[in-house]
Amino acid sequence: MRKSRRNKNALSVAGGVAILIAAILLPLLLTSCGKQGQEGEKKTAQKNEDDFLDKKAKPEERKYLLVAKPFFIAVASRNYAAAYALLSSHARARMSLNQFTPAQQDADFQRNESYPMTNVTAEQFAYLVQYVEAAHGAPRAPKMLNVFSTDPDVLNRRSREQFGAMDSMFAIGAMPDWIPADIRRASLRGQIHTELSPQELANVAQRQGITVEELKKGQDFDPYFNLKVVLVEEAGQLKVGYFEFLPPSMMD
């Protein structure tokens, strides 16, 4: 009973912090979330498949980038069956809607956490990713990927540093406490370029009071979403143990 109460408290804190951060950062509109213009779309195809990996990563972090890379490529290619195959048993055992479309209210967050999907199949995973596409557009190419933290205390919400709770929020989000602490190895954060449908483009342009052509020519037109993953070691192999799809924000 005490363990269950602690888990609920941890999720409540995680949810509250996440919603507070979202309120403070005011996630940007899809069309104001990048630094490249329309011509940049043609430049997002990497010269090689490692171009989106952090060039400044430490040598000991490189292995984590290489493990997470196939997952990002699979998602960016909309090959969700391949992405699912890279998930650990822990990631497949339980998925919350919050991992695909962040709740705006604490009550919604708690409800989603209280009624997760369990023993998720590849088909169910692909269905849930549709929420991401509906919110941000269809994935088309990886944009960037870096290692956020390998600190065990940060990965397990145990840090006593001044901003430890914030670091853990960015690192693991609402990752459930039942996923063993001793198998968590690294948190990575990345971005994936998306492509808006003609209808989505028209809707965004209308909201901004401009034409679609003007929208696409804007210097900041480069829609994308964020993807957070936590790698765990399972049966001697590194796998994606937890993930969250997140909207663009002012912190990107």
Sign of the dihedral through C-alpha 79, 85, 89, 90: negative
Write down the pLDDT at residue 47.
Answer: 55
**What CA–CA distance (Å, rounded) separates 63 from 41?**
29
pLDDT at 15: 58
| CA gap 60, 129 in Å, rounded | 31
Residue with tokens 């989603």: 112
Q: What is the pLDDT of residue 30?
A: 42
In the beta sheet, which residues pair with residue 125? none
The model's pTM: 0.81
In this structure, are residues 178 and 13 in contact, taking their beta carbons and an 8 Å threshold? no
- Cα–Cα–Cα angle for 153, 159, 160, nearest 5°? 150
Mean pLDDT of successive 10-residue segments in the chain (252 residues)?
48 54 46 43 58 96 98 98 99 98 94 97 98 95 98 96 94 97 98 93 91 90 96 98 94 78
Q: Which of 166, 222, 216 is nearest to 193 (CA)?
A: 222
Q: Which two tokens stand for residue 164?
A: 């430890």
CB 89 within 8 A of CB 234: yes
What whole-number distance in Å separates Cα of residue 122 and Cα of residue 128?
A: 10
Planar angle of CA 4, 116, 119, nearest 5 degrees: 100
The rounded distance, in Å, linking the Cα atoms of 125 and 103 is 18
